[in-house]
A and B are shown apart, each in its own frame.
Chain A
Amino acid sequence: GQQVMQIPQYQHVQEGEDFTTYCNSSTTLSNIQWYKQRPGGHPVFLIQLVKSGEVKKQKRLTFQFGEAKKNSSLHITATQTTDVGTYFCAAFANDYKLSFGAGTTVTVRA
């Protein structure tokens, strides 16, 4: 089963608006990775968070790792049509297996 839970499952956003998607775990995570999958495409690595409370930015995307290392968020500002796709968080626990969440599928209204 999935180790990490993502909410919401779907996010419908007006172009230009901001939104946040969340990734939660009941266990402490060693690190967390975020991937993006465009419609019909394959997952592409975006970023990795390792430290408690870590915040990283990629242009309009802001990634955060919780203080307790049990949750993470992805915030996108001024959403564009290029942001369409499914965003997955993925985490390792105590083994070498990367467990993916079910993803948040983002659609954009122009």
Chain B
Amino acid sequence: EAGVVQSPRYKIIEKKQPVAFWCNPISGHNTLYWYLQNLGQGPELLIRYENEEAVDDSQLPKDRFSAERLKGVDSTLKIQPAELGDSAVYLCASSLDSLPYNEQFFGPGTRLTVL
């Protein structure tokens, strides 16, 4: 069974430029998460989807970040414009559903560097 797929793996951009990350969750997983991981820290949730609905986006900086999961399968996270402080690893994860007792499966992440 294929795991969570993310692309690109690495991205280097200049500040004020836009950037987009793509995630394809494990087949059959209804819940999809985007996390931000800074160096030396644990992942922090940005947004959670149940199928195509964003059910928790309280931590998403909506002035510059946006996300979509149009068909309830793959998802895109966008930053426009990027700032220096956005440099981090962006992790996508999925689970069968959002019940607290389900494990989350993480993708390899996209390492973003903003210059």
Q: Is B56's CB within 8 Å of the partner chain A?
A: yes
Chain A residues with Cβ under 8 A from B41's Cβ? 102-103
Contact A42 B48 (CB under 8 A): no
* Minimal Cβ-Cβ distance residue in B for A100: B42
User: Within B92-115, which residues are at the interface with A (CB < 8 Å)?
Assistant: 98-101, 103-109
How distant is A83 from chain B, measured CB to nearest CB, in Å? Answer: 19
Verify A45–B45 contact, CB threshold 8 A: no
Contacts of A90 in B (CB 8 A): 42
Contact B103 A42 (CB under 8 A): no
Chain A: interface secondary structure?
loop
**Contact A100–B44 (Cβ < 8 Å):** yes
- CA gap between A95 and B106 in the complex, in Å: 20
What 1/0 flags go to A8-41 for Cβ under 8 Å of B? 0000000000000000000000110100000001
Other-chain contact of B100, A41, A88, A92, A102 (Cβ < 8 Å): A92
Instruction: Say yes or no for B43: interface residue by CB 8 A criterion.
Output: yes
Q: Is the CB of A100 within 8 A of B101?
A: no
Interface contact A45-B42, CB-CB below 8 Å: no
B interface residues, how many (CB within 8 angstroms) = 21
The residue on A at minimum CB distance from B42 is: A100
Q: Is B40 an interface residue, CB under 8 A from the partner?
A: yes
**Which one of B43, B48, B55, B91 has the greatest number of beta carbons of chain A within 10 Å?**
B43
List 19 contacting pairs A-B, 8 Å CB cutoff, sorted by A: A30-B100, A41-B108, A42-B106, A42-B107, A42-B109, A50-B101, A88-B42, A90-B42, A96-B48, A96-B55, A96-B100, A97-B45, A97-B56, A98-B100, A99-B45, A102-B40, A102-B42, A103-B41, A103-B42
Interface on B for A, CB 8 Å cutoff?
40-45, 48, 55-56, 91, 98-101, 103-109
What 15 new A-B contacts, CB under 8 Å, besides A96-B56, A103-B42?
A30-B100, A33-B103, A41-B108, A42-B107, A42-B109, A43-B43, A43-B91, A96-B48, A96-B55, A96-B99, A96-B100, A98-B45, A98-B100, A100-B43, A105-B40
